[in-house]
Amino acid sequence: MHLPRQLGALHDLPDTPQAYDAVLAGVAEQALARLTPEGSLEHPDCVDDIGDTSLGVTSLLALAWQRGQDPRLPEAVRRSLAFHLRERVYTEDNPGYPNLRARNSGLPYARYTLAPGAHPIGDWPSTVWALLQAVNVLDLAEGLVEDEQRAELTEVAHGYWRWLTEATFFNPQEAGNQAIGCIVGGLMLARHLPPGRRDLVRSRAIALYAEKIRAHRVADRGALLPPEHGGAYDNNYGPISLSFLAQAHRVSGEQVFAEDGDALARYLDARLPGGGFDNGGPRYSEQHSGFESVLGLRYFSRRIGSDLGRYRGDTRWGRHAVKADGGVDGHFAWMLVWQIQDTARWHRTPSPVPARHQLRAGSVSVAFDDRMTPSLVEAAGTYYLPAAVNRQHGFGPVTDGFLFCRPMGEVRVRDVRADGLTAKLVTKPVVGRDHVLRHVRSLYVTDGTALWVTVAVERLPGTPYLLAGLPYATDDGERVRRTAEGEVTSAGALRLTHPEADGVDHFDARADRTQEEAAFALAADPRGYGNPDLGWSHLVTSTALEAGPAPGAPEDLHVFAVRYGAGRHAAGRHGSTGPFAPAFAQDGPGLTVRTEAFTAVIGEAAGDAHGEPELTLQAV
């Protein structure tokens, strides 16, 4: 089976003016055929997320007219705009809406679902979306919309802003993408207001960003991120927040949006493997966004100098939102408008700067979590997740059911590049159930095609092994296919084990179940509202690669050595062949590791009063 949402890299979608004009021409033909006598451009199957959709298609028609002057479009724009102003602007409180600060305000808002009292919780983001569609139409109205209709739309848009910031609690779902979107709406609206109201709305928007969003950022992997549905980052909504930050910077010039976007972009770049697959988040685990992410990924790829467009999005939504029949839906249409208007181009090469939470070279990537434990390993086109044993998740040594990967003290990192090799050494103190402090030293080395992992720790009792990952998915053209195996070699005995128990909290990679499905099944709340990251943390056991100790290790150490993929150095520089059989030697505190590809020495820098780890590396 294939993962349903992670398709092609977003920077592979053509983004020339000609390509975008073709997209708009297709939208225009669909819209003209769909336009009802009342002026609606809503998809006939649309029920949820409907309050802004007709206006979104209107904005696309307005942009198409500005670029191509199709004489059929002005009348469609005016009729559909009249429909929205007449039929989709609500001023009476929605029964059951829980987040009002002022009842019966009479301010306009948009509904998530049209029926009174039906799922009113979605009205706040739907009103943000309607505000954004409205300001886009205002931006594109010159020569297209008559003054009276334009003035009415301006007043409605200002009313949307006041409802969002005065009549309700701000950002009631704690969703960073919605909140930053609201700020963008205020910044864009301000440009259409007379001077007094303009300055008030602009200053209020910037203050809300500082006080309600920026002051509440969440720390993850060394970065401060806008909170998303109670978590630090969601791989669907996070890139959408990046797009909102890009637009906020474009329209306001305020440096704070660029700085926060840079931080989010560098974080995303570090967690994203070269193949663009990612999983995890407080709202969705594997549902990637499409066109909604393009603006931010493209804009900030240039700013941070890295290939963010490798993000494997849902290319079924590569241009605009669509329904099951492929028909255009106006939801989030402002993102297509902005990405067409933006002149930034993709940066397509990786950043040469080492990142603490990432090791990346060629087709090999390791993303590390806050504990500097791998959260995702990519090698030979296969993606490995942290495996689970006895309710513990990660990569690391295991003995008597205890996983040694949670640090008890400072984690130190050393990055080295030499002779075409890229390496990262991670050292962390870990306390076992016997209360003995041990130092786990993990060395990751890649030549761009294979990954060598060597883990050394003071000798462990029992029969230890290295928990070396859960093989989960593999590249299959533009798709990602589920798998339960990978190209892995171990210096010690290697086992691929599967859970012996049944149940949703035992993840067997051979089953036709995705990580997201299992995570939601374990979450406390319904799918779409529960926290899949938290649900997945309740996993008891999983399919796992288990590597036994490598032979020939120093007597006082257990050393584990694993190779993912074959590697272009696997046969040696001179074409010699042989098994993966690393050798080890200890000289004082230093440990020498020799493989078919490299020699590495792990130790402590001589005379370093800070005890920083030392790593020397040389290719064979």
Place 608 in a pLDDT band, splitting at 50, 70 and 90. low
User: Quick one: average pLDDT of 1-24?
Assistant: 95
Q: What pLDDT digit, counting tens, does each position of 31-53 carry? A: 999 999 999 999 999 999 999 99
Instruction: HSE, CB side, 13 Å, CA atoms: give it for residue 425.
Output: 21
pLDDT tens for residues 186-207? 999 999 999 999 999 999 999 9
Question: Mean per-residue pLDDT for 18-25?
Answer: 98
pLDDT tens digits for range 398-432: 999 999 999 999 999 999 999 999 999 999 999 99
pLDDT at 577: 39
| DSSP track, 383-449 | EEEPEEETTEEESEEEETTEE--S-SS--EEEEEEETTEEEEEEEEEEE-TT--EEEEEEEEEE-SS
Q: Residue 245's closest CA among 123, 357, 237, 349?
A: 237
- Whole-number Å distance between alpha carbons of 198 and 483: 55
- What is the arithmetic mean of pLDDT over 59-78? 98
pLDDT at 613 over 60: yes
**Mean of the pLDDT values across residues 264-273?**
97
Closest CA to 168 of 127, 218, 118: 127
Work out the percent of the chain whose per-residue pLDDT is above 90: 92
Question: pLDDT tens, 521-552?
Answer: 999 998 888 899 999 999 999 999 999 999 99
pLDDT at 604: 67
* Bridging pattern class, strands 412-418 and 402-403: unpaired
Residue 567: the pLDDT is 59
pLDDT for the residue numbered 527: 85
According to DSSP, the residues that pair with 482 across neighbouring strands are: 473
Q: What are the residues whose beta carbons fall under 8 Å from the beta carbon of 69, sequence distance 6 or more?
A: none
| Packed helices 333-341 and 237-252: angle between N→C axes, nearest 10 degrees | 50
Return the pLDDT at 355.
97
Cβ contacts of 44-50, under 8 Å, gap ≥ 24:
45/323, 45/324, 45/325, 45/327, 46/323, 46/329, 47/113, 48/112, 48/113, 48/119, 48/122, 49/112, 49/122, 49/126, 49/129, 49/331, 50/111, 50/112, 50/113, 50/114, 50/126
What backbone torsions phi and psi does residue 67 show, to the nearest 5 degrees?
-90, -30
| pLDDT tens digits along 467-480 | 999 999 999 988 99
Q: By the 8 A CB rule, do 188 and 132 touch?
A: yes
The DSSP secondary structure of 543-610, one letter per residue, reads: -EEEEPPPTT--TTEEEEEEEES--TTTT-TT--------EEEEETTEEEEE-SSEEEEEEE-TT-TT
Mean pLDDT score of the chain, rounded to an integer? 95
Determine contact, residues 210/511, Cβ cutoff 8 Å.
Answer: no
Query: What confidence tier does 607 reach under pLDDT thresholds 50, 70, 90?
Result: very low
The structure tokens 């020397």 sit at 616
pLDDT in tens, 566-576: 855 544 443 33
Q: What are phi and psi of 33, to 5 degrees?
A: -75, -25
pLDDT tens digit sequence for 585-604? 998 889 999 999 999 999 86
Give the pLDDT of residue 195: 93
Is the model's pLDDT at 578 over the cut of 60? no
Mean predicted confidence (pLDDT) in 484-488: 96
- Close Cβ partners of 148 (under 8 Å, ≥ 6 residues apart): none
Average pLDDT estimate for 142-170 = 97
DSSP state at residue 94: P
